[in-house]
Amino acid sequence: MKEFVKGLFEKNPILCYLLGLCPTLAVTTNVVNALTMGVSVIFVLFFSNVIISLIRKAVPTQVRIASYIVVIATFVTIADIFLQANYYEISRALGPFIPLIVVNCIILGRAEAFASRNGIVPSMLDALGMGTGFTLILCLMGSIREILGSGTLLGFKAVPAFFPQFLVMILPAGAFITLGLLVGAHQALKMKYKIK
Amino acid sequence: MKKIIKITLFLLCLCFLSGLILSFVWEKSAGKIAANENRAKMAAVLAIFPGEDITELSGGGEQYWRAGAEGYAFESSIMGFQDEIKAVIGVDKNMEEIKGIIILKCLETPGLGGEVTKDKFLKQFLVKNSPFTVVKTAPREKYDIQAVTGATISSRAVVKMINERLARMRAVIKE
């Protein structure tokens, strides 16, 4: 259980390690994109962690990174094909960011730092925790940017008509501002409750 | 020496298994993806010619659409910097003016090559005729297309695709 919970807040991959920032900044212009991205990452992270944990004793150390990448790329391609077949619109909106999960450092990072050293069950929990932590922050950023930038949430009107819309929030600068404030808030909370 | 054989065999097996799984998944979803792409193509043609009657025609080994009496549309693709770029191009009935270009697929680097899918780049083609030339500075001639900064290869690919495709389709449709 410890392995699951740590990814949510204490060792959140985005807020704590600043990993996987490319999708974090790029696809969080609205909640649906953020959620799809998050779920795809959970899927890829979960299965690649399981497989890598299973084969960890057979992998020759010299080519371990290459082997991990093959495993990760396989699952990313499955996710990409699945989205293209069943959620075509979302797949087009996310464009190249789904194939780019291959190089998302959260996944390679967890493979190298955790799955290659631990058994299957802890690796599963680790993947689910880290993936959920990633998805939560993505959705949080997506909500903040969608409400402030477009005045909607999940496509529905979310603010009263007099409320202004800040275009900057759906532009890249808005992503950096939101992320910076979230990282700051995360650190402040940790300091306050003295979590290392 | 023994080590290198072991490593090679391991990677070989891993890649083989990965290929096996992927071809199975692809086999299962190829039909659905093709149907989705077809729907997206029709939507693109309708977006260029709103409210027109779209009929699918073929001639000279090419497929294209006729939009009422307004014009024609056809699909086009070329190898970009990363992967294939696919687009639907609409022209008026005399094939002398480009009515619209909608990029269907583009996996170019977001922020650089990806900018060729944006209006800022594509609107340079509108109400004009091929052949276009790519320039890196502000366009001086009518048919100059200003390349996206940092994405000359993607910009050139799109321009080449439009030039070649228009020339080809002009010959096909005139027949």
- The band of A193, judged by pLDDT with boundaries at 50, 70 and 90, is confident
Contact yes or no for A63 and B11 at CB 8 A: yes
What pLDDT is stored for residue A90 in this prediction? 82
Cα–Cα distances in angstroms (integers) from residue B174 to residues B19, B90, B98, in the given order: 45, 15, 16
Closest chain A C-alpha to B116 CA, distance in angstroms: 13
* A68 C-beta neighbours (distance < 10 Å), count: 24
Cα–Cα distances in angstroms (integers) from residue B148 to residues B27, B78, B124, in the given order: 37, 17, 11
Chain A from 27 to 56: CB within 8 A of any B CB: none
Q: Which residue from B11, B36, B109 is facing A67, i.e. has the nearest CB?
A: B11
A26 touches B at CB < 8 Å? yes
Written as one string, the DSSP assignment of B151-169 is -HHHHHHHHHHHHHHHHHH
The length of chain A, given as a count of residues: 196
Determine, yes or no, domain membership for B75: yes
Contact present, B153 and B78 (Cβ < 8 Å): no
Condensed to tens digits (0 to 9), the pLDDT of residues B95-136 reads: 788 888 888 888 787 677 888 888 888 888 888 887 888 888
Determine, yes or no, domain membership for B97: yes
Instruction: Give which of A141, A132, A101, A104 is closest to A10, Cα–Cα.
Output: A132
Side chain identity at residue A113, one-letter code: A
Which among B5, B29, B85 is the top mutation candidate for probing chain A, defined by the most A β-carbons within 10 Å of its own β-carbon?
A: B29
Contact yes or no for B21 and A78 at CB 8 A: yes
What pLDDT is stored for residue B18 in this prediction? 92
Give the integer Cα–Cα distance in Å for B90 and B75.
Answer: 9
Q: Which residue from A60, A70, A85 is facing B29, i.e. has the nearest CB?
A: A85
What pLDDT is stored for residue A76 in this prediction? 92
Determine, yes or no, domain membership for B148: yes
Chain A residues within an 8 Å CB radius of B4: none
Determine, yes or no, domain membership for B31: no
Q: Which residue from B11, B25, B33 is facing A66, i.e. has the nearest CB?
A: B11
What pLDDT is stored for residue A74 in this prediction? 93
Contacts of A183 (CB under 8 A, 6+ apart): A15, A18
What pLDDT is stored for residue B116 in this prediction? 86
Give the integer Cα–Cα distance in Å for B139 and A87.
Answer: 40
| Separation of CA A77 from chain center | 17
What pLDDT is stored for residue B15 in this prediction? 92
Closest chain A C-alpha to B110 CA, distance in angstroms: 8
Determine, yes or no, domain membership for B70: yes
Higher pLDDT among residues A121 and B129, named by residue: A121
Contacts of B55 (CB under 8 A, 6+ apart): B65, B66
Contact present, B62 and B172 (Cβ < 8 Å): yes
* A116 C-beta neighbours (distance < 10 Å), count: 21
* B170 C-beta neighbours (distance < 10 Å), count: 17
Q: What's the mean pLDDT when you consider all of chain A?
A: 85
Give the integer Cα–Cα distance in Å for A4 and A43.
Answer: 15
Angle, alpha carbons B133-B122-A170 (nearest 5°): 140
Backbone angles phi, psi at B108, to 5 degrees: -65, 160
What pLDDT is stored for residue B97 in this prediction? 84
Does the pLDDT at position A23 exceed 90? no
Chain A from 64 to 83: CB within 8 A of any B CB: 66-67, 70-71, 73-74, 77-78, 81-82
| Separation of CA A80 from chain center | 15
Which among A54, A81, A103, A171 is the top mutation candidate for probing chain B, defined by the most B β-carbons within 10 Å of its own β-carbon?
A: A81
Is the ipTM higher than 0.90? The answer is no
Contact yes or no for B10 and A81 at CB 8 A: no
Give the integer Cα–Cα distance in Å for A166 and A178.
Answer: 13
Does the pLDDT at position A127 exceed 70? yes
Chain B residues within an 8 Å CB radius of A88: 33, 36, 39-40
Does the pLDDT at position A196 exceed 80? no
Contacts of B111 (CB under 8 A, 6+ apart): none
Q: What share of chain B is helix, strand, coil (3-state, %, to 5)?
A: 45, 25, 30
Q: What share of chain A is helix, strand, coil (3-state, %, to 5)?
A: 75, 0, 25
Q: Which domain holds residue B57?
A: 45-174
pLDDT tens over chain B, length 175 residues: 788 898 899 899 999 999 999 999 999 888 888 888 888 888 888 888 887 777 877 776 777 888 777 788 888 889 988 888 888 888 888 878 888 888 888 878 767 788 888 888 888 888 888 788 888 888 887 788 888 888 888 898 998 898 888 888 888 776 6
What pLDDT is stored for residue B175 in this prediction? 62
Q: What's the mean pLDDT when you consider all of chain B?
A: 84
Count: domains in chain B: 1
What pLDDT is stored for residue A195 in this prediction? 66
Give the integer Cα–Cα distance in Å for A180 and A183.
Answer: 5
Determine, yes or no, domain membership for B63: yes
Backbone angles phi, psi at A8, to 5 degrees: -70, -45
Contact present, A166 and A149 (Cβ < 8 Å): yes
Higher pLDDT among residues B175 and A122, named by residue: A122
Written as one string, the DSSP assignment of A30-95 is SHHHHHHHHHHHHHHHHHHHHHHHHSTTTS-GGGHHHHHHHHHHHHHHHHHHHHHHH-HHHHHHHG
Strand, coil or helix: what is B129? Answer: coil
Closest chain A C-alpha to B174 CA, distance in angstroms: 34
Determine, yes or no, domain membership for B35: no
